């Protein structure tokens, strides 16, 4: 992916690679454009509801894979470093690997799962627009619209699979951060102090 579409860095930026799927290089999120470019192969691989299931299971890998854990640990440590911010982070589509990274940051700074879910799903209109030419070509060549939708969209089930994997393996966020990602508590504290702004109390109004 990085060879096919290398980053174009703005002046002063430093490239940092956190290779989430390095030990699972053939999974679907790393092959979106290839799948959309070959309707026959996509139907064989992803037809009959297999597309959603494949992506759902990839979300388990995002949480359970040792390589993914190392990548997300490095990502969180970078985001917690005030010398590194602002941080622009992305993957090829900006929805799966990036989606879990965003969910993780939000959870670590105290967002509720309802808020995380809403933010996770909010990417769909942008992703649909970005991939519309590829999807249209896929459909024009006889591709299954359901396969295209499962490939391009994020769905509530995808995030639920990741959260369930986190809960089942580590008993929730704290265990995942501590034992799964092995992020030291001082890093967690720096992340929260750097990214959380306390709301100022409303000024008192005195009637006369």
Q: Which residues are catalytic?
A: 91
Kindly give, in sequence order, each residue whose CB lies less than 8 Å from that of residue 107, ignoring residues fewer than 6 positions away.
113, 116, 173
> Is it true that the peptide bond before 86 is cis, omega within 30 degrees of 0?
yes
The answer to whether 146 and 54 are in contact (CB under 8 A) is no
Tell me if residue 162 falls in helix, strand or coil: helix
Q: How many CB atoms lie within 10 A of CB 110?
A: 10
Could you tell me where the DSSP H helices lie in 109-195?
113-121, 124-140, 145-152, 156-170, 173-175, 185-195
Half-sphere exposure of 121 (CA within 13 A, CB side): 11
Per-position b or e across 145-171, b if 16+ CB within 10 A of its CB: eebbebbbbbbeebbebbbebbeeebe
């Amino acid at each position: 992916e990085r060879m096919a579409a290398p980053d174009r860095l703005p002046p002063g930026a430093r490239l940092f690679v956190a290779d989430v799927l390095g030990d699972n290089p053939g999974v679907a999120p790393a092959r979106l454009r290839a799948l959309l470019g070959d309707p026959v192969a996509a139907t064989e691989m992803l037809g009959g509801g297999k597309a959603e299931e494949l992506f759902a299971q990839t979300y388990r890998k995002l949480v359970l894979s040792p390589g993914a854990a190392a990548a997300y640990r490095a990502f969180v440590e970078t985001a917690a470093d005030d010398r590194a911010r602002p941080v622009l982070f992305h993957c090829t589509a900006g929805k799966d690997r990036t989606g879990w990274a965003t969910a993780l940051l939000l959870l670590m700074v105290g967002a509720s799962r309802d808020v995380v879910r809403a933010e996770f799903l909010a990417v769909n209109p942008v992703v649909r627009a970005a991939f519309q030419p590829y999807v249209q070509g896929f459909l024009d060549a006889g591709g299954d619209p359901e396969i295209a939708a499962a490939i391009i969209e994020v769905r509530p089930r995808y995030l639920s699979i990741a959260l369930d994997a986190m809960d089942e393996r580590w008993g929730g966020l704290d265990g995942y951060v501590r034992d799964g990602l092995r992020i030291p508590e001082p890093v967690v504290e720096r992340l929260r102090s750097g990214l959380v702004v306390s709301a100022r109390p409303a000024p008192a109004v005195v009637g006369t």
